[in-house]
């Protein structure tokens, strides 16, 4: 039910399925990973050795980050993307978050029709 399950907020903990979906255009996953709080260079190297495909590497990165950073938020993701000049991707994620929030709010507010 939409009313009971609002979309993510900027200070919410990211959901791994949304990270995969919304960060799908991200190619430079290593510099991104190194900027995430709690991630170390050896974590990145280990992921690179263990995973061959970029999608698998990104999934491993997000999983690891969420496990080492209990305070992870969407704001962290947006800040890192902005720092790396991935402004379009950062804006897209903000748009996802705010459009989800807006659609949730509009579904909660009573609808008024203007029919004469």
101 part of a folded domain: yes
What CATH code is carried by the domain that includes residue 97? 1.10.533
Which tokens hold the place of 2?
């939409």
Look up the domain containing 85 and give its range: 16-108
Which of 26, 37, 38 is closest to 86 using CA atoms? 26
Helix-then-strand count for the chain, H and E: 6, 0
Report yes or no on 1 lying in a domain.
Answer: no
Q: For residue range 84-93, what is the model confidence (pLDDT) as tens digits? A: 999 999 999 9
39, part of any domain: yes
Answering whether pTM is above 0.95, one says no
Number of domains in the chain: 1
pLDDT at position 114 over 60: no
As given in the structure block, the two tokens for residue 78 are 């947006």
Q: How far apart are the first and last CA of the chain?
A: 32
In a domain, 9, yes or no: no
Q: What percent of the chain shows pLDDT beyond 70?
A: 80
CB atoms within 10 A of CB 116: 2
Query: 30 in a domain, yes or no?
Result: yes
């Amino acid at each position: 039910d939409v009313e009971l399950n609002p979309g993510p907020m900027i200070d919410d903990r990211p959901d791994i399925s949304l990270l995969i979906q919304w960060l799908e255009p991200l190619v430079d996953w290593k510099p991104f990973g190194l900027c995430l709080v709690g991630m170390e260079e050896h974590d990145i190297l280990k992921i690179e050795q263990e995973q061959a495909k970029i999608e698998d590497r990104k999934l491993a990165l997000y999983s690891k980050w969420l496990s080492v950073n209990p305070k992870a938020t969407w704001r962290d993701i947006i800040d890192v993307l902005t720092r790396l000049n991935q402004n379009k991707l950062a804006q897209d994620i903000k748009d996802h978050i705010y459009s989800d929030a807006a659609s949730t709010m509009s579904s909660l507010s009573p609808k008024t029709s203007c029919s004469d």
